[in-house]
């Protein structure tokens, strides 16, 4: 075990195994104070008391969506991550025969700075690219580029689905987004009958992996077999996604390693890089350039807004003069909106974050009562910016109320044992 | 479950804890988490609207997107949802309900 930005990690980099058997998140029973914060935030109930003292455990990986909301809500640092590729990535960066490619998600650049003392939410995209270059990554590519690709693919798929309604073999509406790996596993586990509603698009990182080893390899005249792709995410569930056996369409494993924002901060600190003095740098071309539509993927409602910026122009044939579609921006809960597109009609959309809210929308679809065309779902409340792999909120560890209650509990437990 | 003396004292202790700190503390703690998220969210929208960071605001305007989807010699020249897209960028899903159903049969309870 190793401590990284306040969270314990097992140093284990699995290869070619079934990710369904791995505990990506687990409770260290010796540090659990039985306060129950984890159970309150768990969307599926996978984390439960396992004895009379109220010590919690993730009871089975099959019921856990690997989102890590329990981990970031634990006031005692009792929840650890089961998978970390940090050591393997350091080895690959040293190996002159390996072409290491960086693939950071949008939300990473709004959290990373906090590990170096910046105020909450500070944008550090330019410094992040500079740090990745200093760490020795060969190509500074960016998952935001494939967020733009996702909009092209998923937006086109939505328009196709709308047009084919009423025809034979039409794909069903509403279309669900498929960017969030916790939500995708949730749909597969608890609503398998609704997977035809899930967009067939891979997530942006699921697209960047195979593009790096085909298009990227071709454009940079690199040997695809030498490319090692590192997915850098605000998320723990992306570690599960990276191990999905079907993600091997480039002829190799599409995603070789997955780390999160905290682990990237740890790598930068371990390498002795002075992050705060780094200049702002651009990503490398081919698979690096992105737009505002891509960066808002980090927020709940962002994929929806980015998709509507495309759908509006394609369906109406007109330019969208003001790209701000603020009605879909979602801070908490479920948000619904009717978006009027000239020459087409009304596009009915819903945006939700948190799995309890997702379940409400899924039940509606299952009952055949859903009026929507397009539904965006994120597992983490507020979206990826609040992902389980992001730097911790310092307030949670300092919560006076929770620590008081837990201390009372612990004292009485201790007496019971002693008696 | 029958409450013994120790359990009663424990419950009193917890209630005293609530009484001293007040339920407001719980509400404030929950609000703090969402304020924290709101700060990160605001920063995202500020970057989107900042032309110094993002020159373009729509995916279809990204020059590298135009290059990859170019009808003549783009890598994805058939356009979105074309043959190459389906091979590399689209996927299928697996029914994973059986393992949770088996756990429920063993007596585990989940929220769904």
Model ipTM?
0.93
Q: Which residues of A touch B110 (CB under 8 A)?
A: 44-46, 63
Q: Does B48 touch chain A (CB under 8 A)?
A: yes
Would you say A128 and B53 are in contact if contact means Cβ atoms under 8 Å apart? no
With a CB cutoff of 8 Å and minimum separation 6, the contacts of A340 are: A346, A347
Do the Cβ atoms of A384 and A297 come closer than 8 Å? yes
Q: Is A167 a catalytic residue?
A: no
Dihedral sign computed on CA atoms, order A301, A306, A312, A315: negative
Place of tokens 């698009």: A201
Q: What is the pLDDT of residue B12?
A: 72
Q: How many CB atoms lie within 10 A of CB A221?
A: 6
By CB atoms closer than 10 A (0-12, 13-18, 19+), residue A3 is exposed
How far apart, in whole angstroms, are the C-alpha atoms of residue A323 and residue B48?
Answer: 10
Cα→Cα distances A109→A86, A125, A201, A390, B64, Å: 19, 5, 24, 10, 21
**What are the structure tokens assigned to B75, written together?**
């890598």
Cα gap A41→A147, rounded to integer Å = 28
Cα separation of B106 and A63, whole Å? 13
Dihedral angle of Cα A414, A417, B1, B7, to the nearest 10 degrees: -40
Q: Do A249 and B59 touch (CB under 8 A)?
A: no
Residue B80 distance to chain A (closest CA, Å): 5
Residue A384 appears among annotated catalytic residues: yes
* Cα distances (Å, whole numbers) of residue A284 to A102, A103, A147, A225, A317: 10, 11, 16, 20, 32
Q: Going by C-beta distance under 8 Å and a sequence separation of 6 or more, which residues neighbour residue A111?
A: A121, A234, A261, A385, A390, A391, B40
CA–CA separation, B101 vs B104, rounded Å? 5
Touching check for B31 and chain A: CB below 8 Å? no
A233 vs A414: CA distance, rounded Å: 40
| φ/ψ of residue A157, rounded to 5 | -60, -40
Query: Do the chains contact at A152 and B47, CB–CB below 8 Å?
Result: no
A399: helix, strand or coil = coil
Which residue carries 């009605």 as its tokens? Answer: A327
> Other CB atoms closer than 10 Å to residue B26's CB: what's the count?
14
pLDDT of B41? 97
Whole-number Å distance between alpha carbons of A54 and B14: 14
B41: closest CA of chain A, how far (Å): 6
Asked if B12 reaches chain A (Cβ–Cβ under 8 Å), the answer is no
Q: Distance between CA atoms of A47 and A28, rounded to whole angstroms?
A: 12
Interface A-B: count of C-beta contacts within 8 A: 254
Output the tens digit of pLDDT for each of chain A's 419 residues.
Answer: 999 999 999 989 998 899 999 999 999 999 999 989 999 999 999 999 999 999 999 999 999 999 999 999 999 999 999 999 999 999 999 999 999 999 999 999 999 999 999 999 999 999 999 999 999 999 999 999 999 999 999 999 999 999 999 999 999 999 999 999 999 999 999 999 999 999 999 999 999 999 999 999 999 999 999 999 999 999 999 999 999 999 999 999 999 999 999 999 999 999 999 999 999 999 999 999 999 999 999 999 999 999 999 999 999 999 999 999 999 999 888 999 999 998 889 999 999 999 999 999 999 999 999 999 999 999 999 999 999 999 999 888 776 566 666 666 666 666 555 44
Which one, of A105, A101, A109, A47, lies nearest residue A78 by Cα?
A47
Within 10 angstroms of residue A96's Cβ, the number of other Cβ atoms is 5
Catalytic-residue membership of A362: no
Q: Tens digits of per-residue pLDDT, B59-106?
A: 999 999 999 999 999 999 999 999 999 999 999 999 999 999 999 999
Calpha distance A374→A176 (Å, rounded): 6
Least CB-CB distance to B21: which of A106, A395, A400?
A400
- Quick one: closest CA in B to A320, which residue? B58
Asked if A157 is an active-site residue, the reply is: yes
Which residues of chain B neighbour A189 with C-beta distances below 8 Å?
Answer: 96-97, 99-100
Residues of chain A contacting B57 with CB distance shorter than 8 Å: 291-293, 309, 323
């Amino acid at each position: 075990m190793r401590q990284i930005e306040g969270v314990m990690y097992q140093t284990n980099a699995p290869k070619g195994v079934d990710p369904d058997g791995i505990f990506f998140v687990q409770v260290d029973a010796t540090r659990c104070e039985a306060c129950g914060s984890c159970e309150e935030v768990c969307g599926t109930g996978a984390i439960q008391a396992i004895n009379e003292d109220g010590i919690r455990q993730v009871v089975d990986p099959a019921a856990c969506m690997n989102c890590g909301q329990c981990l970031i809500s634990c006031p005692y640092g009792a929840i650890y991550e089961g998978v970390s590729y940090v050591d393997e990535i350091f080895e690959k960066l040293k190996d002159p025969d390996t072409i290491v490619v960086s693939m950071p998600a949008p939300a990473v650049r709004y959290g990373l700075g906090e590990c170096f003392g910046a105020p909450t939410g500070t944008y550090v995209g330019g410094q992040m690219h500079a740090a990745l270059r200093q760490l020795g990554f060969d190509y500074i590519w960016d998952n935001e580029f494939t967020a733009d690709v996702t909009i092209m693919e998923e937006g086109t798929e939505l328009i196709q689905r709308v047009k084919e309604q009423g025809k034979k073999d039409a794909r069903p509406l509403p279309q669900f987004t498929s960017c969030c790996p916790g939500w995708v596993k949730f749909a597969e586990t608890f609503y398998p009958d609704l997977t035809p509603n899930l967009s067939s698009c891979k997530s942006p990182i699921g697209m960047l992996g195979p593009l790096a080893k085909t298009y990227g390899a071709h454009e940079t005249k690199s040997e695809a077999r030498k490319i090692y792709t590192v997915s850098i995410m605000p998320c723990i569930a992306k570690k599960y996604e990276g191990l999905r056996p079907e993600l091997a369409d480039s002829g190799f494993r599409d995603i070789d390693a997955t780390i999160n924002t905290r682990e990237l901060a740890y790598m930068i600190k371990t390498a002795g890089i002075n992050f705060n003095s780094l200049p702002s740098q651009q990503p490398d071309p081919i698979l690096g350039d992105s737009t505002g539509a891509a960066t808002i993927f980090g927020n709940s409602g962002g994929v929806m807004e980015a998709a509507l910026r495309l759908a509006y122009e394609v369906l109406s044939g007109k330019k969208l003069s003001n790209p701000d579609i603020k009605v879909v921006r979602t801070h908490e809960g479920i948000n619904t909106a009717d978006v009027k597109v000239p020459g087409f009609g009304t596009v009915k959309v819903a945006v939700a974050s948190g799995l309890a809210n997702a379940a409400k929308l899924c039940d509606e679809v299952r009952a055949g009562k859903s009026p929507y065309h397009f539904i965006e779902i994120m597992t983490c409340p507020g979206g990826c910016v609040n992902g389980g792999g992001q730097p911790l909120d310092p307030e949670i560890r300092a919560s006076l109320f929770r620590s008081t209650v837990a201390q009372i509990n612990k004292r009485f437990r201790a007496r019971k044992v002693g008696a | 479950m029958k409450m013994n003396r120790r359990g009663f004292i424990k419950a009193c202790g917890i209630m005293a804890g609530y009484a001293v700190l007040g339920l407001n503390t719980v509400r404030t703690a929950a609000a703090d988490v969402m304020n924290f998220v709101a700060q990160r969210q605001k920063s995202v929208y500020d970057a989107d609207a900042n032309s110094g960071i993002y020159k373009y605001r729509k995916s279809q305007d990204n020059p590298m997107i135009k290059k990859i989807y170019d009808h003549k010699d783009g890598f994805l020249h058939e356009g979105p949802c074309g043959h190459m897209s389906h091979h590399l960028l689209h996927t299928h899903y697996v029914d994973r309900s059986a393992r949770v159903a088996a756990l429920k049969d063993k007596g585990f309870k989940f929220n769904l």
